[in-house]
């Protein structure tokens, strides 16, 4: 009895049908994966919001953007808001590894500063999960989030107090006269090269960590506040954004924590004046656009 197999034409038709089905299914799979990553990112921010709110309830003040103590080699502290809230987000063991009596860049703090904290890593940020910000031979574990310094320029005056966080800041709830629900607290910033080849002086890469702002080796007066803070210098994901701005790994938006602990997405096409107003804690602006 003669067996009938597939002809070449039939085989090609089957392959073509399979290719079309894959082409139809793949975008849906990618969309589902991004939705899962988005949910995980928002959960990270919710944990940070909880840590920040609980810190304020415990100490009656929000944590400093980062600690500063002048020394011959630059900032002899550097410890950031992210490190301060670790005990409140189940990171007490890692928190205890740091010696706050010694500079962040000394060897005693190496194990802590090279440790990764999953709550500070957005799943859509493919660089930060494995990378380090380098200061000479020193390595600082990357992160995907920074706290709000407010309006520019972050490089001009590190102790400017227009936003929620700055160098040695001690913001109280009563200081936020614009309302906690209208004031940015934490936003997203990835690592890797600037968007679309933008530049900032000699900088071409984002430098975001979770534990510290670290002095520049060649200029001890530069304590690199942008490593843990962002300014509202450009709208989220702006093509001209640099290492002081918000630059999220998502398409069309960035996620933020507001002062009342809410997590919200802000569209990158938001009116810039509205976005800048969210950066100030006591600017008395009227915000007409939230998305």
Give the per-residue pLDDT at 31. Answer: 60
C-alpha to C-alpha distances, 9 to 18, 79, 102, nearest whole angstrom: 14, 67, 74
Whether residue 248 is preceded by a cis peptide bond, meaning omega within 30 degrees of 0, is no
What is the rounded distance in angstroms from the CA atom of residue 75 to the CA atom of residue 226?
14
Question: Residue 139 burial (CB < 10 Å; 0-12/13-18/19+)?
Answer: middle
Residue at token pair 């709110």: 53
Q: Structure pTM? A: 0.86
pLDDT tens for the chain, 291 residues long, are: 555 556 777 677 777 777 777 776 666 555 656 667 778 999 999 999 999 999 999 999 999 999 999 998 899 999 999 999 999 999 999 999 999 999 999 999 999 999 999 999 999 999 999 999 999 999 999 999 999 999 988 988 888 999 999 999 999 999 999 999 999 999 999 998 887 766 676 678 899 999 999 998 988 888 999 999 999 999 999 988 889 999 999 989 999 999 999 999 999 999 999 999 999 999 888 776 544
Cβ–Cβ contacts within 10 Å for residue 197, how many?
8
Q: Phi and psi dihedrals of 210, rounded to 5?
A: -105, -20
The predicted pLDDT at position 10 comes to: 67
Rounded Cα distance between 269 and 121, Å, is: 25
Quick one: pLDDT at residue 27? 66
Please name the residue that has the structure tokens 């574990």: 141
pLDDT at site 291: 46
> How many Å apart are CA 214 and CA 194, to the nearest integer?
20
C-alpha distances out from residue 137 to 63, 65, 132, 176, 205, Å: 29, 25, 11, 40, 17
């Amino acid at each position: 009895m003669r067996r009938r197999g597939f002809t070449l034409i039939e085989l090609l038709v089957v392959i073509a049908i399979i290719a079309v089905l894959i082409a139809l299914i793949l975008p849906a799979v990618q969309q589902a994966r991004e939705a899962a990553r988005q949910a995980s990112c928002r959960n990270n921010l919710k944990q940070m919001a909880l840590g920040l709110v609980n810190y304020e309830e415990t100490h009656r003040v929000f944590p400093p953007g980062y600690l500063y103590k002048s020394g011959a080699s630059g900032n002899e502290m550097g410890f950031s808001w992210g490190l301060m809230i670790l005990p409140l987000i189940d990171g007490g063991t890692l928190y205890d590894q740091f010696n706050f009596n010694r500079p962040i860049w000394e060897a005693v703090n190496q194990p802590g500063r090279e440790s990764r904290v999953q709550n500070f890593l957005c799943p859509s940020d493919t660089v930060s999960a494995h990378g380090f910000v380098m200061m000479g031979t020193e390595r600082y574990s990357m992160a995907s989030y920074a706290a709000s310094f407010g309006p520019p320029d972050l490089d001009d005056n590190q102790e400017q107090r227009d936003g929620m966080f700055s160098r040695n800041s001690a913001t109280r709830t009563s200081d936020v006269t614009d309302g906690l629900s209208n004031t940015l607290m934490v936003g997203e910033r990835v690592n890797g090269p600037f968007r679309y080849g933008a530049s900032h002086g000699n900088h071409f890469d984002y430098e975001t960590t979770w534990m510290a702002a670290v002095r520049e080796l060649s200029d001890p007066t530069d304590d690199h506040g942008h490593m843990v803070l962002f300014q509202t210098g450009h709208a989220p994901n702006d093509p001209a954004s640099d290492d002081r701005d918000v630059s999220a790994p998502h398409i069309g938006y960035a996620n933020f924590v507001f002062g009342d602990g809410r997590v919200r997405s802000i569209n990158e096409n938001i009116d810039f004046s509205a976005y800048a107003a969210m950066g100030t804690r006591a600017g008395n602006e009227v915000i007409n656009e939230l998305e």
